[in-house]
């Protein structure tokens, strides 16, 4: 069993309330869940307005497939949100 994980840090400079942030995070999570077969959730900084930290995980039987899936999800998030991608940490084990 191969597990792929990613931690994505995004910055949403235009967000001025937690309600706005929740709308952005929910949109990202719903789009990713609809398109990819991965687990995804906001994992840190839930009380900071402009900082979004999302965790993603997938299970596969092939290391290349897990790595490819993580990269596709990261690219999808970057292309489908106005938030700035600050950093990405991926691991496949």
Least Cα distance to 83 among 38, 5, 19, 21 occurs for 21
Q: What is the pLDDT of residue 57?
A: 97
Computed over every residue of the chain, the mean pLDDT equals: 94
Render pLDDT for 79-93 as a digit per residue (tens, 0 to 9): 999 999 999 999 998
For the beta carbon of residue 53, count every other beta carbon within 10 angstroms.
18
pLDDT at residue number 23: 94
In terms of Cβ atoms closer than 10 Å to its own Cβ (0-12, 13-18, 19+), residue 40 is buried
Tell me the mean pLDDT in the region 61-66: 94
Structure-token match 């039987």, residue found: 61
Tell me what pLDDT residue 40 has.
97
Domain boundaries, the chain: 2-92
Give me the CATH topology for the region 2-92.
Alpha-Beta Plaits (3.30.70)
């Amino acid at each position: 069993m191969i597990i792929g994980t990613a931690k994505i840090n995004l910055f949403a400079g235009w967000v001025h309330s937690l309600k706005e942030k929740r709308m952005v995070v929910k949109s990202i999570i719903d789009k990713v869940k609809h398109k990819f077969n991965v687990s995804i959730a906001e994992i840190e900084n839930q009380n900071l307005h402009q900082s979004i930290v999302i965790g993603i995980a997938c299970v596969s039987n092939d290391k290349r497939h897990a790595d490819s899936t993580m990269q596709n999800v990261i690219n999808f998030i970057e292309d489908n949100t106005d938030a700035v991608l600050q950093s990405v940490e991926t691991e496949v084990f």
